[in-house]
Amino acid sequence: MKIEFCGAAQTVTGSQHLLSVGDKRVLLDCGLFQGRREEANRINREFIFDPASVDSVILSHAHIDHSGNLPSLVKRGFKGMIFATPPTRDLCAIMLADSASIQFKDATHLAKHKGQNIEPLYTAEDVAETMSRFVTIPYHYEFEPVEGVNATFYDAGHLLGSAITSVHATHRGKTSRICFTGDVGRYNRPVLADPECPPDEFDVILTESTYGGRSHETEHDLEGKLLEIINHTIERHGKLIIPAFSVGRTQEIVYYLNNLANKERLPNIPIYVDSPLAISATHVFRLHPECYDSETRLLMLSDPIPFDFKGLHYVREVAESKRINAMKRPCVIIAGSGMCESGRVLHHLMHNVGKRNTTVLFLGFNAEHTLGRRLADGMKKVRIMGDEYIVRAHIEKLSGLSAHADHGELLAFLDKFKRTADQRIFLVHGELSAQEAFKSALKDTGRPFVENPAKGTVVEL
Ligand SMILES: [Zn+2]
């Protein structure tokens, strides 16, 4: 029995870990590596194992860095089933289709403007074939992805449907108990339930380590701050642009605005969610109230649809998106992408970033070298789709919306696990420096066997 670390090893994206039990192979996640174009292209096309040799996949959640390379796996010969929770399957249906469409547009753009012929990683047909392989398993139901392996999903509280997987693998009379945390969410977040700790005793834990050594700032009155920013926007007679990830973050911010509307504190201002993907994702959120936390379920007794309120408009058509730009009255525009790298938010920024009455509100982390980072850092000149713009807009930030447990939260979460004398912990899904910080913190809590394997490392169990 062995585990091979095939992706998100000493880095954050491209989650893939291959569990071999006798001659059976189960892949934990099949994520897309995200980084500089050429490197990503190479890594995402070349698996370090033969896809045809994998018997089944267990998928922790729908984020693209965990699910986004499944269509490549299928295209390159994988014939098995993909096990995931029902919301994960439903989110994958829209997110993988969106990913295929982005790749098609990128390839077309590169061919037209740079004369480069790059085949998209996968197509809509590959996504359709991939979706036909899904088998959905709710939380707390045991399933058998291959003979000799029993698994159970627990709620990870990170994204709708996100799962922590408990795996019991038996070969030649010996059983290994393995936990794969996937991405771990946070306690007391809106909409989603808190992360659950599986009740088993584990020999091996594969845990994410994204925020090792770092803490999130806490925003105590998020609704109040949001309301203040909206009121300032109205006073300035301008537009409030909120770049937001379409899946998860957009639903969270709509939920906060819905709360303000229910309390009759939200001023009379039109609010637009301008993203087809966010609209589809919100439908999936509405289909799965079984994943909500108790506060949201309680709220639904008086407000059955917490993602809709008077004054909120979901915009799917391009023509309507353009009409918002021509509007003179103050409004709020929530649009993707969250880091302003692509999507309709770019058009809203082009039209408004140079105006003194515009406000741009950032809700989370912006990676280096992104337009979101440049704006959030207060740069006075930025390039948007090749043209230079002077920034006169007010820049605001609201922290405290991260979907990942930070250093202290992850330590507290792992502290809930039953300990065994020779329990081994493998850190995945983290940059090297974050992993080193988290490793030493774990060792300080009396866990001697903590490792952060590099890509390609094989560990015998
Ligand atoms: Zn995630």
Q: What integer pLDDT is reported at residue 325 of this predicted model?
A: 87
CA of 429 to the centre of ligand 1 (A): 10
One digit per residue, the tens of pLDDT, for the chain of length 461 reads 999 999 999 998 899 999 999 999 999 999 999 877 788 889 999 999 999 999 999 999 999 999 999 999 999 999 999 999 999 999 999 999 999 998 898 888 888 887 888 899 999 999 999 999 999 999 999 999 999 999 999 999 999 999 999 999 999 999 999 999 999 999 988 899 999 999 999 999 999 999 999 998 777 788 999 999 999 999 999 999 999 999 999 999 999 999 999 999 999 999 999 999 999 999 999 999 999 999 999 999 999 889 999 999 999 999 999 999 888 899 999 998 888 988 899 999 999 999 999 999 999 777 777 899 899 999 999 999 889 999 999 999 987 788 899 999 999 999 999 999 899 999 999 999 999 999 999 999 999 999 999 999 999 99
Q: What are phi and psi of 233, to 5 degrees?
A: -60, -40
Nearest to 160 by CA among 245, 217, 78: 245
CA of 234 to the centre of ligand 1 (A): 35
CATH of 222-397, one of 3.30.360.10, 3.30.410.40, 3.40.50.10890, 3.90.1170.50: 3.40.50.10890
CA of 269 to the centre of ligand 1 (A): 32
Which CATH superfamily hosts domain 2-214+403-460? Ribonuclease Z/Hydroxyacylglutathione hydrolase-like (3.60.15.10)
Report the phi/psi class of residue 237: left, alpha or beta, with left for phi > 0 and alpha for psi in -120 to 50.
left
Q: What integer pLDDT is reported at residue 109 of this predicted model?
A: 81
Q: What integer pLDDT is reported at residue 217 of this predicted model?
A: 79
Helix, strand, coil percentages in the chain from 3-state DSSP, rounded to 5: 35, 25, 45
Examine residue 337 and say whether the peptide bond preceding it is cis (omega within 30 degrees of 0). yes
Q: What integer pLDDT is reported at residue 117 of this predicted model?
A: 84
Q: What integer pLDDT is reported at residue 90 of this predicted model?
A: 98
Q: What integer pLDDT is reported at residue 41 of this predicted model?
A: 87
CA of 29 to the centre of ligand 1 (A): 11
Contact predicate 85/161, CB 8 Å = yes
Round to the nearest angstrom and report the end-to-end CA distance of the chain.
Answer: 5
CA of 425 to the centre of ligand 1 (A): 20
CA of 338 to the centre of ligand 1 (A): 14
DSSP 454: P
CA of 406 to the centre of ligand 1 (A): 13
Domain parsing of the chain, residue ranges: 2-214+403-460, 222-397
Q: What integer pLDDT is reported at residue 91 of this predicted model?
A: 98
Evaluate whether 2-214+403-460 and 222-397 have a shared fold. Answer: no
CA of 63 to the centre of ligand 1 (A): 5
Side chain identity, residue 94: I
Q: What integer pLDDT is reported at residue 112 of this predicted model?
A: 86
For residue 194 the two structure tokens come to: 């808190």
CA dihedral sign of residues 206, 211, 214, 216: negative
DSSP letter string, 47-79: -SS-GGG--EEE----SHHHHTTHHHHHHTT--
